[in-house]
Amino acid sequence: MVPDSRILCNAGDHYQKAESAAKFAVEEYNNKAGEQGFLKFITIANLNVEPTARALYYITVAAEDAAGEICLYQMQIWEKLNTGYLVQIFRPAPYCLKSSGTP
């Protein structure tokens, strides 16, 4: 069975929009955290999209902190009509805790 190209195109479109939303959320986090924290977006590890008037994204991203550690962060971002993004949740993934440096 050949996949429907419309589905693949929509999946790519959702991914691109989700990537923009995730980068926005990381940038917003960095602006709020100031010198206390800095994250660099690496990639999307998991993506779920809930269609609404625009979209509600549930995204898990890999990001690098100022110390060079890579960890996963979970975010919920609402893409609003004509007003951009609203970050509703931004937190470290509970299954990817940073190492404390002690065994």
pLDDT in tens, 65-102: 888 899 999 999 999 888 889 999 999 998 776 554 44
Tokens for 98?
């940073």
Sequence spans of domains, the chain: 5-92
Q: Is the pTM of this model over 0.85?
A: no
| Gap between the Cα atoms of 33 and 13, Å rounded | 30
**Domain 5-92 listed as CATH 3.10.450.10:** yes
| Gap between the Cα atoms of 74 and 97, Å rounded | 12
